[in-house]
């Protein structure tokens, strides 16, 4: 069954920006007859107890999901199998080496310059002795185009992205693509801070024989300084803002809609009418 999903990182409590994105993902999925899945992206940045509190807050505002909840930390075999099917190479560069390397001709700014792409086996053996390798995709394109419901055609950089970090951690870009494919997720709704990652993820999906999902990158919620909402902005969690009875109608209003429960908002949800600009969270 095709599905949409919400994929929080359990690094702390969800703030209203996260709750608004979750609500939108739920609305997109449920309004199109999809399942709605929760995936805990706990490959790094885990805080004890955060996952349980995040799920409790989602349930409290009336978002329901289709079991099971999966955790990326339990899915290493899937990531490993996917990487085995891809053309990859070992990379020994430190962050500093990448930043100071001259960028490759025609490579977009910030793209990996390809330093380790063509090392000989002898060079690899020598570097392996000095430090563990990350694993990179040997990409055959430098950009890729995705279609987004809110942004239209969007073309972005694809470089030799890291699939496994040199500490053995699976990279977010790999895990997200493998999981979306394994879970039949064909609709990805998330914050538009991730729009620039979509081309490389969609490209990776095609290499794994998958059709890229439909994307909707939704506007961010901003804090009082005009920057993306963060914990330090004060009253930002469900409890701090008065619980579901206060927060759900406020989120609905921020979307130009009315409703006390997600179910009510669903009845009047129209993706085409969604605001295209960030929402600044009002002070309490």
Annotated binding site: 5-9, 41, 91, 93, 112, 116, 172, 190, 231
Which residues within the stretch 235-254 sit at the binding site for ligand GLU (CB under 6 A)? none
Binding residue count for ligand GLU, defined by CB under 6 A: 7
List 190, 200, 217, 241, residue binding ligand GLU (CB under 6 A)? 190
- Minimum CB separation from ligand GLU for residue 110, in Å? 19
- Minimum CB separation from ligand GLU for residue 239, in Å? 20
Cα dist. 188→117, 133, 134 in Å?
31, 31, 27
Q: Does 187 bind ligand GLU (CB under 6 A)?
A: no
- For tokens 């209003």, what's the residue? 253
**Which of 78, 116 has the CB closer to ligand GLU?**
78
Which residues within the stretch 69-128 sit at the binding site for ligand GLU (CB under 6 A)? none
List 3, 4, 7, 17, residue binding ligand GLU (CB under 6 A)? 7
Which residues within the stretch 36-55 sit at the binding site for ligand GLU (CB under 6 A)? 41
Dump strand ranges (E) for the chain: 3-6, 35-40, 70-71, 88-91, 134-137, 143-148, 152-157, 162-164, 185-191, 214-218, 221-222, 279-280
**Which of 91, 174 has the CB closer to ligand GLU?**
174
Annotated binding-site ranges for ATP: 231
Q: Does 34 bind ligand GLU (CB under 6 A)?
A: no
Q: Does 176 bind ligand GLU (CB under 6 A)?
A: yes
Q: Is 213:186 a contact under the CB 8 Å cutoff?
A: yes
- Minimum CB separation from ligand GLU for residue 147, in Å? 16
Dump strand ranges (E) for 74-226: 88-91, 134-137, 143-148, 152-157, 162-164, 185-191, 214-218, 221-222
β-strands 35-40, 3-6 pairing: parallel
- Residues near ligand GLU (CB under 6 A): 7-9, 41, 176, 190, 194
């Amino acid at each position: 069954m095709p599905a949409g999903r919400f994929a929080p990182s359990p690094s702390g409590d969800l703030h209203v920006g996260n709750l608004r994105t979750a609500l939108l993902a739920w609305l997109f999925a449920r309004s199109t007859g999809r399942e709605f899945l929760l995936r805990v992206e706990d490959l790094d940045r885990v805080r004890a107890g955060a996952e349980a509190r995040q799920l409790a807050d989602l349930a409290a505002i009336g978002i329901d999901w289709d079991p099971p909840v999966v955790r990326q930390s339990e899915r290493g075999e899937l990531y490993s199998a996917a990487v085995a099917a891809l053309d990859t190479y070992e990379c020994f560069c430190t962050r500093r080496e990448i930043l100071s390397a001259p960028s490759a001709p025609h490579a977009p700014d910030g793209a990996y310059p390809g330093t380790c792409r063509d090392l000989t086996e002898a060079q690899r053996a020598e570097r392996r002795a000095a430090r563990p390798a990350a694993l990179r995709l040997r990409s055959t394109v430098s950009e890729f185009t995705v279609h987004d419901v809110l942004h239209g055609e969007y073309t972005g950089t694809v470089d030799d992205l890291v699939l496994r970090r040199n500490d053995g951690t699976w990279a977010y870009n790999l895990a997200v693509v493998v999981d979306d494919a394994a879970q039949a997720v064909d609709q990805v709704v998330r914050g538009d801070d991730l729009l620039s990652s979509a081309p490389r993820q969609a490209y990776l999906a095609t290499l794994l024989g998958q059709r890229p999902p439909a994307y909707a990158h939704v506007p961010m919620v901003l804090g009082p300084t005009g920057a993306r909402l963060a914990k330090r902005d004060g009253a930002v969690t469900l409890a701090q803002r008065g619980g579901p009875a206060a927060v759900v109608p406020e989120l609905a209003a921020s979307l130009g809609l009315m409703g006390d429960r997600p179910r009510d908002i669903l009845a009047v949800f129209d993706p085409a009418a969604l605001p295209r600009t960030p929402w600044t969270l009002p002070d309490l």
